[in-house]
């Protein structure tokens, strides 16, 4: 029977989503968590049970404070801050009152109430359209599991020993998902790779894995079964494949790939701290994309020359109500202070289409990608727009800020936005609040209309940033969210390239710089064409910075 199983398993290949690149070898070691009883028990004294929950909740907050302190050196402040966020989540009135309501109304034990509420909140996050927000489901699971473990420790049922490894030597850790507190406590000497059946490549766990340099594949699905415990695997973090019990030929092939990767990574380090120059000496500004404060340490570690796209909508998507001017100001200020003299381009609110928040109460649209979103939504809600722009200008005193407006289709939209900015500056002057008067003002070119009239638009702005993702879908009339149309979504289509070329030519004729912040910016197959067209700046995922800098050095 054992021989038969070995034959079946040999060269089995599992498939998932890459969360961090790299090659890893090791025996699969499934995370063994304590069996926490969530069965419902009838409680007569619900007041005492609520107090029992409250004691565990406060204990969890204390634990998270210690975990934050321990994580600072390992992950950096911008990643460790997740544990402060977890503390805030444990103080969220909706979460706390929901648990106490279940205890009181159903006369249930605290463990059951915590589990029921966690499942409800987790489901809400997982049903969201945005990858980043889906990644927050793991945070709910983490804080809820923490409370239940504390409840059981207080009862003497459970000893908290953390994750143990079932095999000697290097292991590939396997789980349904890992929560942030588990990931940060991993022994990097023992854990060569991570594979999960669920998860998200935008979760804190994925971010931590990238920071720690652990090859990681998520979303493997039901094929990642516990009967694979102890089997030797190769994690190919470049393709998203996991090879189970590979033959000698496969092992040798990936050993050579890993050696090559290690040499290449060593070679890439030669470009750290150096400007991004083409072979002929033409300077390209190589920036990184960011979606939150948690990305900043990763961006700094990547050696990016600045932030080319800070997606401000995630501030709104993580909030339960409209963020105030002060709340936004503190976030923008933190970003600018962290980046020092480096340029930070913050995109104004781009809510709509696949990104939304319930409190906006947006109407259902037949075609939301082309509906009330981005600058259209902001100009239709001037108070909302003014609040964000005031926060941005106030924060400008603390760094090198550029402001970028998305989804522009006309000169009128630019003129109206600049009029609002003039009003804000007058208000700030009257209130004697500091700001920089020379903040760069730019727009995104992501509609064919904007690309076609880029000669007119260039007269009113300091820079263009071409959003190739939306530009491609609008030019080709292909919904990029529709997997059935993937073959039609061709970013190399001649029409798309012509619009990019037209935009760069018109920008340069007007004396402004032109950048790229869509997926094409990190596409090495198209890099030579972008250099040939004369692009001045590229904004990419942090992990691509050094490899693109090295590639650009061989071009032009």
Same domain, 148 and 167: no
The answer as to whether 542 is a domain residue is yes
Residue 83's domain is classified under what CATH number?
A: 1.10.274.10
- Burial tier of 253 (Cβ tally within 10 Å: 0-12, 13-18, 19+): middle
Same domain, 184 and 327: no
pLDDT tens by residue, 272-328: 899 999 999 999 999 998 877 767 877 888 899 999 999 898 888 777 889 999 999
pLDDT tens by residue, 124-169: 888 876 666 676 788 888 899 889 888 887 765 545 555 666 777 7
The answer as to whether 25 is a domain residue is yes
> 3-state DSSP call for residue 187?
coil
Give how far Cα 519 sits from Cα of 16, 210, 271, 373, Å: 20, 19, 22, 21
Number of domains in the chain: 3
DSSP string, 15-27: E-EEEE--EEEEE
The answer as to whether 419 is a domain residue is yes
Same domain, 149 and 171: no
The answer as to whether 495 is a domain residue is yes
The answer as to whether 311 is a domain residue is yes
pLDDT tens by residue, 366-422: 777 777 788 999 999 999 999 999 999 999 999 999 999 999 999 999 999 999 999
Q: Is 167 a catalytic residue?
A: no
Note the pLDDT of residue 130: 63
Note the pLDDT of residue 230: 92
Mean model confidence pLDDT for the chain = 87
The boundaries of the domain holding residue 143 are 46-154
Range of 83-87, 205-209, 230-234 with top mean pLDDT: 230-234
Adjacent-strand bridge partners of 465: 444, 515
Adjacent-strand bridge partners of 445: 466
Same domain, 412 and 485: yes
Same domain, 55 and 114: yes
Q: Is 204 a catalytic residue?
A: yes
Residues 6+ positions from 81 with CB-CB distance below 8 Å: 68, 293, 294
The answer as to whether 273 is a domain residue is no
SS (H, E, C) 119-172: HHHHHHHHCCCCHHHHCCHHHHHHHHHHHHHHHHHHCCCCCCCCCCCCCCCCEE
Instruction: Give the strand pairing for 285-290 and 537-540.
Output: parallel
pTM: predicted TM-score of the whole model, two decimal places:
0.63
Same domain, 424 and 324: yes
Same domain, 357 and 220: no
Which residue among the candidates 50, 86, 204, 219 is catalytic per the annotation?
A: 204
pLDDT tens by residue, 359-371: 887 777 777 777 7
The answer as to whether 272 is a domain residue is no
Same domain, 136 and 57: yes
Integer Cα distance of 536 and 256 in angstroms: 36
Which residue among the candidates 50, 219, 378, 517 is catalytic per the annotation?
A: 517
Integer Cα distance of 54 and 39 in angstroms: 20
The answer as to whether 536 is a domain residue is yes
């Amino acid at each position: 029977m054992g021989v038969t199983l070995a034959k079946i398993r040999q060269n089995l290949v599992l498939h998932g989503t890459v969360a961090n690149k790299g090659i890893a070898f090791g025996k699969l070691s499934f995370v063994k968590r304590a069996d926490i009883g969530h069965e419902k028990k009838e409680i007569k004294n619900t007041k005492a049970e609520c107090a029992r929950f409250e004691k565990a909740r406060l204990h969890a907050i204390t634990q998270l404070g210690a975990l934050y302190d321990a994580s600072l050196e390992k992950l950096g402040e911008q990643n460790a801050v997740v544990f402060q966020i977890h503390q805030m989540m444990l103080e969220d009135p909706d979460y706390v009152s929901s648990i106490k309501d279940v205890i009181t109304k159903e006369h249930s034990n605290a463990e059951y109430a915590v589990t029921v509420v966690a499942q409800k909140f987790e489901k809400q996050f997982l049903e969201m359209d945005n990858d980043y927000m889906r990644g927050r489901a793991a945070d709910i699971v983490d804080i809820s599991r923490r409370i239940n473990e504390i409840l059981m420790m207080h009862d003497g049922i459970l000893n908290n020993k953390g994750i143990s490894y079932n095999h000697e030597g290097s292991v590939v850790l396997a789980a349904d998902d890992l929560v942030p507190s588990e990931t940060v406590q991993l022994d990097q000497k023992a854990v060569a790779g991570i594979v999960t059946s669920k998860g998200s490549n935008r979760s804190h766990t994925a971010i931590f894995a990238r920071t720690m340099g652990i090859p990681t594949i998520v979303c493997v699905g039901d094929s990642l079964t516990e009967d694979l415990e102890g089997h030797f695997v190769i994690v190919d973090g470049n393709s998203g494949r996991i090879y189970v019990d590979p033959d000698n030929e496969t092992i040798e092939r990936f050993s050579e790939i890993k050696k090559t990767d290690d040499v290449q990574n060593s070679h890439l380090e030669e470009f750290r701290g150096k400007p991004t120059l083409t072979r002929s000496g033409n300077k390209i500004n190589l920036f990184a994309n960011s979606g939150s404060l948690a990305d900043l340490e990763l961006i700094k570690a990547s050696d990016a020359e600045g932030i080319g796209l800070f997606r401000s909508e995630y501030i709104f998507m993580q909030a339960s109500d409209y963020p105030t001017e002060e709340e936004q100001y503190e976030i923008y200020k933190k970003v600018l202070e962290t980046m020092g003299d480096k340029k930070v381009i913050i995109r104004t609110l781009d809510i709509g289409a696949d990104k939304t928040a319930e409190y906006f109460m947006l109407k259902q649209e037949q075609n939301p990608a082309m509906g009330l979103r981005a600058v259209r939504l902001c100009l239709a809600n001037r108070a909302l727009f003014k609040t964000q722009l005031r926060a941005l200008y106030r924060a400008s005193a603390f760094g090198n800020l550029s402001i970028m407006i998305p989804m522009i289709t006309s000169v009128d939209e630019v003129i109206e936005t600049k009029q609002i900015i003039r009003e804000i500056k007058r208000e700030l002057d009257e209130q004697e609040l500091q700001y920089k008067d020379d903040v760069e003002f730019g727009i995104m070119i992501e509609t064919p209309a904007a690309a076609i009239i880029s000669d007119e638009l260039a007269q009113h702005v300091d820079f263009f940033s071409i959003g190739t993702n939306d530009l491609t879908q609008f030019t080709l009339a292909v919904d990029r969210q529709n997997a059935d149309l993937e073959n039609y979504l061709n970013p190399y289509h001649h029409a798309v390239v012509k619009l990019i070329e037209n935009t760069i030519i018109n920008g340069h004729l007007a004396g402004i710089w032109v950048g790229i912040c869509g997926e094409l910016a990190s596409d090495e197959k198209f890099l030579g064409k972008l250099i040939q067209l004369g692009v001045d700046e590229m904004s990419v995922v942090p992990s691509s910075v050094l490899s693109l800098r090295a590639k650009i050095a061989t071009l032009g």
